[in-house]
Structure formats: structure tokens, C-alpha cells
Amino acid sequence: MAHIESYTFNGTGAAVYLCFGYIPDRVEIAALEDSDMARVVWQRNFRAAEADEGYILYTYAGAGASYTAGAGVRAYYGGDLMTTANQTSTTYAEGIYLEPDEISDYRSGARDAVSDDINAWTLDTSGNRTGHFNEDVTGTYIGEGSEITIRETSSRKIRKYIIEALTATQGEAADEVTLSYASPSGDILRISGMYDLKPVALGKTTKAGILLTPYTYINVNDEIQVVTLYQFDGRK
């Protein structure tokens, strides 16, 4: 049975190394904020030179193209020491060497709350799926794409949602936060960062993964991308 996992990252507008810790057997990357709705597919067992590095599909009409060597997705074996010469930036949502973010919760004042920890959600307008927190966010880590876990006050049920709209330095005033669904008011148990992948820190050595070269239709700068990884035998 295949092992499957998925991550989001911010498009770089340049070639990007996605360092998951292993080389997947199959990769699918989708652009989520572009009307072309591009999707790249690559497998390690693509055995034709014409599609050595996968292919891309884009637009509802089914347009697409294959990637020859050096143009698409290829295995990356890691082992690069991060310096200012090869890692363009270590600022969150930037950089060209990315790895999974080990921080799963950014609600505290020490992370992305302006002052007090963010722990309460109030639903203001159900029809718009909008509400507010007990505190503003700085917006460095929390924003569109963040996953939020809420325990409803009335039912005590715990559900997960996606933050679809939230401007930096906002969140505390009525209707400043839009969720994927209209969650009843309750306690906030967790808010993740906007992206699952973050820049690899300077002085750290990269792990294995993939190199994504193109940035036309896919991997457009500052647009959310989702990458899904498959291991056919269930082992990394």
C-alpha cells in the first residue's frame, strides 16, 4: 500500500529544492491561486527522455507540455550546507531550499500573536464565515493557508478549518478572519503557519527531496502550492 503525504509551500518564482527527507516515487504539485490551475506530475519510473522530468497540465482546455532533462522535476539527494551563497533567504515564506516546518502552533505571543496568546474564536457573520480572535496576529506566520483547530463552546466538538483571509496586524476586530466554514464560537487549540514548508536554516545540511525547476504556471512567486508525495511500497 502506498504511503502518501502532502505539504504546502509559497511559490518562489525560481527553482526550489523541497527537502522532505527522502526521494518520493511520485510527485504531484498543484498551483492553487492561479486561474490556469496548473498541475505537475513526475515519477521516478518515467523512462522516456521526452518526459524525463515529468509533465505539466494547465487550463481547463487541457493544455500541457512534458519536461525534458533540466526543465521540470528531478530527484535531489541533499547534502548541501546552507550558506548565504546558496540559500537566498531564511525569512519565512522565502528561500529556495525548503523543509517541513517542525513548529505546528504559532498562537503564542512569543510566535505570531501581537501580545496575548490567541485562544478564543468568536463567530460574527455566519453567512460570510467570518469572525475574530481575542488578539491580533503579527502576520509573519499566521494568515491565508493556516490550519486552525477550534473546540466549540456549545457542543465541545473539535474541528479543523483553514484560514482563507486574514490581514497582518489584524484579527481582533469583528469579521477580520474568514474561515473555510462558519465555525461556532469556541476555544482555539492550534493555529499552524501559512505553509507546511519553511526555509532551511543557515549552517544546516539539507535532506533529500526534489528539485522543482519551472516557475511558469507552476511555482509562481507568492502563490500557494500544494505538493503530494507517494511512496509505492510504503517505505521512505
pLDDT in tens, 9-27: 999 999 999 999 999 999 9
Provide the grid cell at 8.
Answer: 504546502
Domain ranges in the chain are 3-101+197-231, 120-191
Residue 61 predicted with pLDDT over 60: no
The C-alpha angle 14, 226, 109, rounded to 5 degrees, equals: 90
Per-residue pLDDT reduced to its tens digit, 204-213? 999 999 999 9
In the block, which residue shows the cell 500573536? Answer: 113
